[in-house]
Structure 1
Amino acid sequence: MNNSESIYLPCAGKSLPLGDFKVHSRFTRVVNFVNEANEIAFITSEISLLAAHGIFLPEQSLKFIINLTITPPEIIINDRRINRSSINKYDSSLNFENIDGVKFEENLLQLPILFSQEFPEKSLLFLLNSQYEANFTSGFDRAFMINALRSKELILSGELIKGVEAIKGTGYGLTPSGDDFIAGLLLGMHYNEFKYRKNLYKAKNDIYQAVAGQNLLTSSFLFQAKEANYFRILKNFLFLLFDAEISTTKDELVQLFSLGATSGADLLTGYIFSIKYKIAI
């Protein structure tokens, strides 16, 4: 996907579930589908939203898509057949082996300081910087904040599972703030595995098993995070942090934060939190 011309061609993630799918939910840029095994796949017209379980169709009117079938050799969308061997493959993995880890972490930890005004007011930024607790004053908001702080306390005291259970399903949005935070936490643990040369798969799976629930979209999102599959907009942003000057990353950060009301910010907060506090290490 490095060739700019490739964004005008269909592309599919590397971990598409198989089967016949029906529409689960529709949004402006995404149609989600579910198969009989309750596995989620999606079609998007926005390249930045591509993920391991997604299909990118450029210049496609999504409202007319009603049927999806995925087999090993092909993808069938309505009556259109796409040979999987003939289209671009999105690699959702991220390798940290040859990066400047010091530079990456410095950039990452500067984001909540240098760009604090870009974080949505109701995001979980206060878990990284207590001065933003002042944004939560109403009954619901304050209860949400107090619970999130309790979750932080549990996690940092070694009660990782109790901590994520406390914050799961809480907050704002289609994928609740707490679940976005947990997804970021899981992805941050992927970096911790590289840095500390420690296999954290069991810890990540324990978290996933504790928080996966009836919300198929959230469970799918968390599963991909557990498996260290990065959606394109986040992967590209993290690539930028490997060696860019932090002051040049604002536009890409704002693009990441365009995901939902607070989803992008809460995801990034969880990611930074995981690395800053060496979660599961």
Structure 2
Amino acid sequence: MVWQLIIASLAMGIVYGMVAMGMVLIWRAVGVVNFAQGEFLMLGAFAAYTLTLQLGLPQGAALATCALLMGLVGVVYHFITYWPLRKSWDITVIISTIGASIALKEVATLVWGPAPLAVDPIVHGIAKLGEAAIEWQFIVTIGVAALLMAAIFILLERTYLGHILQATAQDQYAAAMIGIPVVLATGLTFAISALITGVGGMLLAPLFFVTTTMGGITGLKAFAAVIIGGFGSVQGAIIGGLLIGFVDTFAGAYISTTYRDAIVFLCLILALVVRPQGIFGEKIAEKV
């Protein structure tokens, strides 16, 4: 049972890490928290249902198609919620993301209905780890998510395009002065953020029922992961997501499934008390 819980914790934690990573990318690019990040995960889960069960695409093709579609969703989202308001107060953009979150849930309800939907796993069957029986879907989730997160990390840290995106995130005005098309750079960052979160939703879909509310609590837990890991840190988002995954899974197994969410946020409060800047965050001295 312990091995089963560990694998389940890794699978859940890495999905939380994907959502948190997408949230950090937008934060680094435009300096605001995207409160519709969980809805990107929801759309990815519904895309899994449509592409595999309704259109009959093979799992690999469905995964690639989902990534492409979610990238396009991110671009459209950028031009609706951020770009027209880029010169406004940050709170205006944040309210815009909250409104977009509500709108996306309502659109999903209109398109797919309010009833929970079931999605077939990417890989069927059970793997044996000693005496533990582990669903292959958990293992596939960990593998695909780790590869995607590593690819995006390499893109941001080791490529010329990644340096352009990071330069734009640090100072949009200076980036524009040296000829970087800011609108394309920020739009691409939103696309990557939506892509990684949407794929996380597709990986999560076979493990739970797909509903229009699934993104809400997942987005909040990913936000907790961002805070625990350190705001603005991609590595922190990943580590924070894994920690949240372990707390969530083991609390549900050994304490209470009813209070597992409350336990997660209690751990967030304790983390803020012990290290308010997060694991990879830096202390900011306030000048008096």
Whose helix fraction is larger, Structure 1's or Structure 2's? 2
Question: Greater relative contact order (Cα 8 A, min sep 6): structure 1 or 2?
Answer: 2
Same fold at TM > 0.5: no
Q: With structure 2 as the length reference, what TM-score do the two structures score?
A: 0.25
Whose strand fraction is larger, Structure 1's or Structure 2's? 1
Q: With structure 1 as the length reference, what TM-score do the two structures score?
A: 0.25
